[in-house]
Amino acid sequence: MYQIIRYSSIDSTNTRLKQQAMEGAPSGTVLVADRQTAGRGRLGRQFFSPEGSGLYMSLLIRPVRLCDAGLLTTLAAVAVARALEGFGVPTGIKWVNDLMVDGRKLCGILAEAGIYEGQPFAVIGIGINLKKAAFPGELTHIAISMEEVLGTSPSRDEVMHAVLDQLARVDLSGPKDPAALMEEYRRRSVTLGRAVRVIPHSGESYEAVAVAIREDGSLDVRVGAELRNVSSGEVSIKI
Ligand code: BTN
């Protein structure tokens, strides 16, 4: 059910898979690379992807019923959290797409949606830190790897197959029970109930308390007596 294509070096598995999707690649195509030279994160950020230290993979799903990339990211986060738990790595989900261990980021997810010949498709990109890398300065204290958590790292292929198995169970093309998945997302959330700083796409950042995650994956925050809904941008958790 999966066609796995391996690259030693690629600009970005998401960028390349989106191109392949627009050329008619089948659902279940997976690109995995030893390194990415232009790995991408949410909000136009770079995703540091050095050789030999991470799993950098993207999966094409078509057609998809949910063509909301935000919600796909949310549901994919549950699948990846389950896969990591299977290796004995308990992660919490920081809204919206970061899997965390002890306040440090182990995995990021970038879901992107598109349309080809009238049919919506989704590219789910997943980056997991397997081994401690020489992260650039500012990442040293905010990133963590499976090796650091477990003392040793499972192989890249083991982790990739575990993630693909869990993604198949969740069935992002049309999940049977999205409400149950959202409930699990909330249970795994390390953002809910916390004091946060909301960093919107545009405008000033502000302090708030994260109070709820809606069925569409957006976050409700309380600012004084006022409730605000956050559907893009990001939050950082205040210590
Ligand atoms: C984030 O942290 O904001 C999301 C990071 C997603 C990184 C993965 S690595 C594989 C795939 N290819 C990319 O360019 N990005 C995703």
Strand partners, 214: none
Local confidence band at 158 (pLDDT 50, 70, 90 cut-offs): very high
Higher-pLDDT residue of 201 and 134 is 201
Whole-number Å distance between alpha carbons of 199 and 206: 7
User: pTM of the predicted model, to two decimals?
Assistant: 0.95
Which of 35, 42, 47, when mutated, tests ligand 1's pocket best, judged by the most ligand atoms within 8 Å of its CB? Answer: 47
Local confidence band at 67 (pLDDT 50, 70, 90 cut-offs): low
Q: Where are the beta strands (DSSP E) in 102-213?
A: 104-116, 119-129, 195-199, 206-213
54 lines ligand 1 (CB under 6 A): no
Q: What angle do CA 219, 220, 225 make, to 5 degrees?
A: 160
pLDDT at 66 over 70: no
Coil, strand or helix at 50: coil
36 lines ligand 1 (CB under 6 A): yes
73 lines ligand 1 (CB under 6 A): no
Which tokens is 175 given?
């999940």
- Exposed / middle / buried, residue 225 (Cβ in 10 Å: 0-12, 13-18, 19+): exposed
pLDDT at 135 over 90: no
Range name among 32-46, 63-77, 213-227 with the lowest pLDDT average = 63-77
Query: Counting runs of H as helices and runs of E as strands, what totals does the chain give?
Result: 5, 12
129 lines ligand 1 (CB under 6 A): no
* C-alpha 175 – ligand 1 centre gap (Å): 22
pLDDT at 15 over 70: yes
Whole-number Å distance between alpha carbons of 80 and 126: 9
